[in-house]
Amino acid sequence: MDFAGTTPYEDYVRADVLTHLQRPLSDDPGEMVFLVTTQVMELWFTVIVHEWTTAATALRRDDLPTALAALERSRRELAALNASWEPLAHLTPARFNAYRSALGEGSGFQSAMYRRMEFLLGDKSASMLVPHRGTPRVHAELEKALHEPSLWDEALAFLSRERVRAGREPLPTEVLERDRTRPYEAHPAVEAAWTEVYTAEARERATGPGPLLRLGEELTEVAEMVWRWRNDHLSATRRAMGAKQGTGGSAGVAWLEKRARRTVFPELWTARSHV
């Protein structure tokens, strides 16, 4: 067990780097858990972006097993991400105010990795690149993600190809060739296509779930976990600071309420009303 240099564990995990990245800016002992929890969330954002990118790439190749495996992993990772709120979920205003001023203009909406998550979900916005103009590498990565198909775009392209293989009409051109830099908007033809998928399940339950149903359900699980994340964020923020303006000039709770109302992969939810 006597190593000449660092241990193999350290070489792989870089624990010494990770555990020395914390630089609290106030004297309040409660700031440390806020800082570490935020850093842990950034790590989860990173791995979830990796999984969703893997799934999107696999769907582009019609490799459904790889896509489903990545989505399933991301669902468990989202559960862990959501659990990260627990250390911060019960902050009182006085406890948060003890170190809030140390955050200065810093705000969670400035997270580049979280923005990449949102872009992969189809929630695109060119204006969200503006805070990152001072960091060329990060800005370039976000600009690339802005122009690339989202995970939902790739799922709909796969759905369309499966329809053609089954002898049905593809999805409309305005869905498949939409402006990728714009937020995704629900389309009635997409709702109808998913309705067909779920109606077929109701008719043929004995045959087991088909590929599109399995994809739809994995994406629905992801959408639900994202919804839980947004609402946990809203709840923790409302409890810690009420309706005050957020850090960095954000609208705080008002902005989070607006985010929580946005449905991820909307037609997967509305299609259920027609089955």
pLDDT-based confidence at 256, cuts 50/70/90? confident
* pLDDT surpassing 70 at residue 46: yes
Confidence (pLDDT) at 251: 63
What pLDDT, on a 0 to 100 scale, did the predictor assign at position 250? 64
Q: What is the mean predicted confidence (pLDDT) over 127-149?
A: 95
Higher pLDDT, 63 or 243: 63
pLDDT, the chain, mean: 93
Q: What confidence score (pLDDT) does residue 247 get?
A: 63
Rounded-to-integer distance, Cα 262 and Cα 266, Å: 9
152 has a pLDDT exceeding 90: yes
Q: Annotated binding site for substrate: which residue ranges?
A: 100, 247
DSSP letter for 259, please: H
**What is the residue extent of each domain of the chain?**
33-274
Nearby residues of 137 by Cβ (< 8 Å), 6 or more positions away: none
As a whole number of angstroms, the distance between CA 91 and CA 86 comes to 10
Q: So what's the pLDDT on residue 249? A: 62
The annotated binding site for heme is made up of 233
Out of 57-61, 158-162, 199-203, which region has the weakest mean confidence (pLDDT)?
Answer: 199-203
Rg (CA), the chain: 21
Look at residue 248 and tell me whether its pLDDT is greater than 70.
no
33-274 architecture in CATH? Up-down Bundle (1.20)
pLDDT tens digits, 92-125: 999 999 999 888 888 888 999 999 999 999 999 9
Q: Tell me the pLDDT tens digit for each residue of 64-80.
A: 999 999 999 999 999 99
Nearest CA-CA partner of 45 in 138, 146, 114, 137: 114
Q: Find out whether 154 and 56 touch, Cβ atoms under 8 Å.
A: yes
For residue 243, what pLDDT is reported?
Answer: 80
For residues 252-264, average pLDDT? 85
Most distant CA pair in the chain, distance:
67
Element (H, E) at 98: helix 93-100
Please tell me the predicted confidence (pLDDT) of residue 209.
75
Give the end-to-end CA distance of the chain in Å, rounded to a whole number.
Answer: 62
Q: Is the pLDDT of residue 205 over 70?
A: no
* pLDDT higher than 90, residue 204: no
Residue stretches of the annotated binding site = 100, 233, 247
Question: Is the pLDDT score of 268 beyond 90?
Answer: yes
